[in-house]
Structure 1
Amino acid sequence: MAYTYRFAALLVLLSATVSFSSAQISVSLPFTGNISIGFSNSLLVKKDTSLNIVWYGKFTPNQRAIIVDFIRSLNSPADAKGPTVASWWKTTEKYNGGASTIVVGKQLLLEDYPFGKSLKNPHLKALSGKLNGGGVRSITAVLTAKDVTVEGLCTKRCGTHVSKSSSVGGRAYVWVGNSEDQCPEYCARPFHQPLSGPHSPPLIAPNGDVGVDGMIIHLATLLANTATNTFKSGNVNGDQEPASYCVDRFGSGAYPGYAGHVLVDKTTGASYNALGLAGRKYLLPALWDSQAGECRTLV
């Protein structure tokens, strides 16, 4: 079964009467969608889950470090004081009755574009099997570089997740593409202004890379929905998942076209709401807090 970040009607961006209460949200911005992982009758993310990474295309060492440090930060508190990636991830513990731990697994660099620079869904599936991760506690993230086009990127999705509970080993994968040169107005928001609708000036990316910082937002959403919504048990309002339900909300006071009150680095002017390992800063989406009954932001 495949679940994708899909465009919601852009009409909501132009609406003058929008309901944005925490308990009953009627706003659906671009790239919301359902992402659910199922493996037999067990929960996927209950203990240590290895996240394998296939880097397809050319990523600089710094770009890879930004993403790997984010994954490492999910379960490791940052040294500095303030809201952290780990405290953001801790919200997932309120679903499915326990802690969720994701660790960095195997990594594979494919800088020679073995399937070319224009990929379709079968290519993503083939790439997901390159590391032979498999197993009920293993996921593969296929990450494509900014010069790689992928079927549906920009027109329908920024990332996707596919799970095969009936396949050998129950292999599952997520895909996220770097949209910096293709459609940053859709997939790298709020670091780029959208094409239409109400919007405030774009924020400065916390790691100085609009494409990769945008990828972090979508990867975070995919992983949070994976941990909280196995078998759609964590659906909010019937058909939305905890991270997708709170799309485009990053700080308190957020509304369509405005990311909310976030922290700003005094030196670089970059916006962030979470501290990670190695001194990293990230901007992460709000998560639906099932106990508080609201979209919970870090700041």
Structure 2
Amino acid sequence: MGYNYRFAIRAFFLLLSLTTFLNPSAATTRRLTALVKQQPLVLKYHKGPLLGGNVTVNLVWYGKFSPKQRSILVDFLQSLSSVHSRSPQPTVASWWRTIAGYTGKPCTVAVGNQVLLESYTLGKTLTIDKLPVLAARGSKRGGNTAAVNVVLTDADVSVEGFCMSRCGKHGASRRGSAYAWVGNPGKQCAGQCAWPFHQPIYGPQTPPLVSPNGDVGVDGMVINLATVLAGTVTNPFNNGYFQGTAGAGLEAVSACTGIFGKGAYPGYPGEVVLDQTTGASYNAVGVRGRKYLLPAMWDPKTSTCKTLV
């Protein structure tokens, strides 16, 4: 139950490969007009409940994440609802505000419980049915049942379908609570689940962007966490906003896979900001000046993929 990356990833890399085959110079000329006729992108609302208002995110760290890696991801979540009124650049919070167009009211995010499972209690190879089991560890007995429990697996953990058909997943447990999972692709499939910080598996082999926090796997996790969290809020029980088949359709961010800035096309993430000191690419600033590269989000007000820059 819940969205996974199967169709979004395959469609992205299929178009990437098709582009290269039909027009080998497309990576440098940026001429992708009419190679594939685009269907109207409309995420239909299926009348189900959404997770608007105040959302608590509980984190289950499965494996050996370093303190720095944990801080990158926690700072991202805390940045979703932080106020940056004086920031001269787009912020993580301004990216998240598009969610209000779905829920009809502001949606704030707070980090709740954090559980460290560094001993791989269920092993280093997990089946999909183990994810809600791990997610349940994020809720304290008698805690907030409306919270989203997010499982984060480290680079040494293999999850069923990871890299092959998904970079993350969200769904609902038998008790009706929402959960999500994102894996660290640094060792297993950076070219698929950490693009554009690594050369893609298929298509034009253009130089990758420099990751803003110096960790390709974790900066890739930020992109995928942003994707599944937006999907969890706007389509928590497979009857919210999506296009296509319930449980495998395109959602708020997965509908815009591969788009990070204006002028994006398969193999080119679009125009983003370059840090003149580090050479890293980003498009949003978070708490403590932390920089992130966030994917475009489908805007229900304009029916387009909205980018920050």
Pairing 1:221–2:227 present = yes
Contact in 1 for aligned 2:171/2:232 (Cα 8 Å): no
Question: In structure 2, do the counterparts of structure 1 residues 252 and 211 end up closer, same or farther at CA, with 3 Å as the change threshold?
Answer: same
Give the alignment partner of residue 166 of structure 2, picking from 157, 182, 197: 157
Pairing 1:192–2:202 present = no
What's the offset of the Cα at 1:249?
Answer: 0.4
Question: In structure 2, do the counterparts of structure 1 residues 237 and 156 end up closer, same or farther at CA, with 3 Å as the change threshold?
Answer: closer
**RMSD of aligned residue pairs (Cα, Å):** 2.6
Query: What does residue range 1-299 of structure 1 map to in structure 2 within 5 Å?
Result: 1-6=1-6, 7-9=9-11, 10-16=13-19, 25=38, 42-43=49-50, 45-78=51-84, 80-132=87-139, 135-164=144-173, 167-168=174-175, 170-230=176-236, 231-236=238-243, 239-299=249-309
Matched to 1:277, the amino acid is V
Separation of aligned partners in 1, 2:223 and 2:103: 23
Matched to 1:265, the amino acid is D
Question: In structure 2, do the counterparts of structure 1 residues 50 and 37 end up closer, same or farther at CA, with 3 Å as the change threshold?
Answer: farther
Q: What percentage of aligned pairs have identical amino acids?
A: 49
Structure 1, unaligned runs of 5 or more: 29-33
Separation of aligned partners in 2, 1:138 and 1:189: 29
When the two structures are superposed, what TM-score results if normalisation uses the length of structure 2?
A: 0.85
What's the offset of the Cα at 1:14?
Answer: 2.3
Aligned residues: 285
Separation of aligned partners in 2, 1:219 and 1:141: 9
Question: In structure 2, do the counterparts of structure 1 residues 20 and 71 end up closer, same or farther at CA, with 3 Å as the change threshold?
Answer: farther
Question: In structure 2, do the counterparts of structure 1 residues 56 and 20 end up closer, same or farther at CA, with 3 Å as the change threshold?
Answer: farther
Helix, strand or coil at the partner of 1:284: coil
* Greater share of helix: 2
Separation of aligned partners in 2, 1:26 and 1:88: 25
What's the offset of the Cα at 1:123?
Answer: 2.1
Which is further off, 228-237 or 55-64?
A: 228-237
Separation of aligned partners in 1, 2:40 and 2:302: 19
What's the offset of the Cα at 1:191?
Answer: 0.2
Contact in 1 for aligned 2:49/2:240 (Cα 8 Å): no
Separation of aligned partners in 2, 1:183 and 1:225: 22
Question: In structure 2, do the counterparts of structure 1 residues 49 and 130 end up closer, same or farther at CA, with 3 Å as the change threshold?
Answer: same
Contact in 2 for aligned 1:14/1:197 (Cα 8 Å): yes
What's the offset of the Cα at 1:236?
Answer: 4.6
Question: In structure 2, do the counterparts of structure 1 residues 26 and 201 end up closer, same or farther at CA, with 3 Å as the change threshold?
Answer: farther
Which is further off, 234-243 or 4-13?
A: 234-243
Separation of aligned partners in 2, 1:26 and 1:194: 25
When the two structures are superposed, what TM-score results if normalisation uses the length of structure 1?
A: 0.87
Contact in 2 for aligned 1:19/1:26 (Cα 8 Å): no
